[in-house]
Amino acid sequence: MTHSLHRRGDFDNLKGDYVILAMLAAGKNDKHPDARQKLLRIAQIFKNHNPTNILTEKAWKISSVIQAAFTEIKDVKRVIQTLKKEDLGISIVVSGLLNEIEDVLKDIGLEMHTVHLSLGTFGKKELLPSDKILEITTMCGHHCVSPQSVEYYLDLIKKDKISIENAAEELAKPCVCGIFNTSRTINLLSELSKEERK
C-alpha cells in the first residue's frame, strides 16, 4: 500500500512511526465465508498491541482493509509474531524504516515479499509547505490533513487555547483509515510551537 509510503521526516523521528495494514485480496480470499471474521481478528490483534491510532471499530465491519499506526517497534514485532502464529492467510503490509522492519522479520523467521521505496518529491517544491508541516500532513496518505489545519492548531497552541495533545487528536480525525500517528504528531507540534515562540 503506497499511501503510507511518503511519510516525511528524519531518521530519529521516523523511528517511532510504523503502519501495519491487513487487506483482503480481491478474488482470492475476500469471498471466503470466514474472511470477515479473520479480518476482525486481525483488527483485535492490532488493538491489543498499543496502537497510537487505528481504523475505527465501526469501520471494521465494512472495510476490506484494517490498519493501525504504532510508535514502538516492539509492539510491531508482537503484532507480527501473533499474526504469524495464527496464520490467518491475509496479506500484511508493514511500513517503517527498512532496516528496523528487516530486523524484526529476521528475528521472527519471516522474509520480505515486496519492498516499496519513495523516490521523493518532484516538481515545484517551492510551492510546498515547510518540511516540518509536511512531516505532519504526510502521515495521512490520502492527504485529508491539510497544512492549513496544522497552522490553525499551531496558532491555537500558541494562544494557549488548546493543548498539544488535543490538537494532535483533532488533526487525526479526518484520517479515517487510522494511520495518522498522534504520538509523533505531539512531538512535531511541540517542536513547531517552540520554533514559533522564538
Q: 43, 60 in Cβ contact below 8 A?
A: yes
Q: Does 69 lie in the same domain as 135?
A: no
- Residue 29's pLDDT band (cuts 50, 70, 90): confident
What was the pLDDT predicted at 1? 55
**DSSP letter (8 states) at residue 25:** P
Q: Does 69 lie in the same domain as 16?
A: yes
Q: Write out the E strands in 6-99.
A: 18-23, 53-54, 65-70, 91-95
The helix or strand, by DSSP H or E, that contains position 3, with its residue range, turns out to be none
Any domain includes 41? yes
List, for residues 5-19, the tens digit of each pLDDT value: 889 999 998 999 999
Any domain includes 170? yes
Angstrom distance (rounded) from CA 55 to CA 68: 6
Any domain includes 116? no
Q: At which residue does the C-alpha cell 491489543 appear?
A: 48
Across 95-123, average pLDDT: 93
Look at residue 197 and tell me whether its pLDDT is greater than 70: no
The last residue of one of the domains, among 57, 82, 108, is 108
Look at residue 47 and tell me whether its pLDDT is greater than 60: yes
Domain coverage including residue 159: 125-197
The Cα angle at residue 49 between residues 44 and 55, in degrees rounded to 5: 50
Angstrom distance (rounded) from CA 77 to CA 105: 8
Facing residues of 95 across strands? 19
Angstrom distance (rounded) from CA 11 to CA 31: 40
Look at residue 67 and tell me whether its pLDDT is greater than 60: yes
Whole-model pTM: value is: 0.92
The helix or strand, by DSSP H or E, that contains position 84, with its residue range, turns out to be helix 73-86
> Residue 68: which CATH number?
3.30.70
List, for residues 180-191, the tens digit of each pLDDT value: 999 999 999 999
Q: Does 104 lie in the same domain as 10?
A: yes
User: Per the structure, how many domains does the chain have?
Assistant: 2
